Amino acid sequence: MKIEELVHRVAGEALSLLEKRYHYRISDDHKKDIQNTVRDNLNNILNEPKEAKPAGPKAEAKEEQE
């Protein structure tokens, strides 16, 4: 399986979860558009520099105590 196919499938699974768990209604045309957009942007996503990890609640609480 190519990575593009995997990304397309994962995007589809995410959309299905939104429909089942959160009762979103997403038309088939919108699903296809979103999946294709994510697949087309794959190279940009992979080439983005890694961002610094956001501070979690523990780090924020520690800062407040100091």
Residue 14 is assigned to a structural domain of this protein: yes
**What span, in angstroms and rounded, lies between the C-alpha atoms of 19 and 13?**
10
pLDDT of residue 23 exceeding 80, the answer is yes
Residue 57 is assigned to a structural domain of this protein: no
User: Where is pLDDT greater, at 7 or 62?
Assistant: 7
Q: Of 3, 31, 5, 6, whose CA–CA distance to 18 is shortest?
A: 31
Residue 18 is assigned to a structural domain of this protein: yes
pLDDT averaged over every residue in the chain: 85
Residue 56 is assigned to a structural domain of this protein: no
Q: Domain limits at 12?
A: 3-48
Lowest mean pLDDT: which of 14-18, 28-32, 37-41, 42-46? 42-46
Number of domains composing the chain: 1
Residue 60 is assigned to a structural domain of this protein: no
pLDDT of residue 18 exceeding 80, the answer is yes
Residue 24 is assigned to a structural domain of this protein: yes
Q: Is 34 exposed, middle or buried (0-12, 13-18, 19+ CB in 10 A)?
A: middle
H-type helices in the chain, by residue range?
3-22, 28-40, 42-47, 57-65
